[in-house]
């Protein structure tokens, strides 16, 4: 059921026939793909002593404690995946999440 304004127009009109919520999801997924590191970049990220925010982080961790805690639980758990087995995808989504939340 489509919600309507007082004048009868849809409250959130579709864009090219696609509901706005789906357009936003596609935009977020595309941004996460842009931020996804390669395997060699992922190794460098894990070995770095500095988080993307500039704070110190232990080697082997993707983010500092404050950035890690700002992520949803699904992203936090996914960051324990091995490189080549989902780490890169989750890392890209985590960066996109942190961009939006700050």
Who wins on pLDDT, 101 or 66? 66
- Kindly write down the DSSP assignment for every residue of 18-29, as one continuous string: B-HHHHHHHHHH
Q: What is the mean pLDDT of residues 36-53?
A: 91
Mean pLDDT confidence for 5-10: 66
CA distance 69 to 15: 35
Angle at 37 between CA 33 and CA 38, to 5 degrees: 115
Mean pLDDT of the region 17-46:
77
The confidence band for 37, taking pLDDT boundaries of 50, 70 and 90, is confident
pLDDT at position 6 is: 67
Question: Is residue 20 predicted with pLDDT exceeding 70?
Answer: no
pLDDT grade, residue 98 (50/70/90)? very high
Across all residues in the chain, what is the average pLDDT? 83
pTM: 0.69
The 3-state DSSP class for residue 56 equals strand
């Amino acid at each position: 059921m489509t919600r309507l304004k007082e004048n009868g127009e849809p409250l959130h009109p579709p864009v090219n026939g696609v509901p706005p919520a789906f357009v936003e999801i596609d935009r977020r997924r595309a941004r996460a793909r842009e931020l996804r590191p390669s395997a060699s970049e992922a190794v460098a990220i894990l070995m770095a002593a500095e988080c993307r925010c500039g704070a110190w982080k232990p080697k082997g961790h993707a983010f500092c404690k404050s950035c890690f805690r700002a992520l949803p639980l699904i992203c936090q758990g996914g960051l324990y995946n091995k490189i080549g087995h989902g780490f890169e995808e989750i890392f890209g989504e985590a960066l996109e999440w942190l961009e939006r939340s700050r």
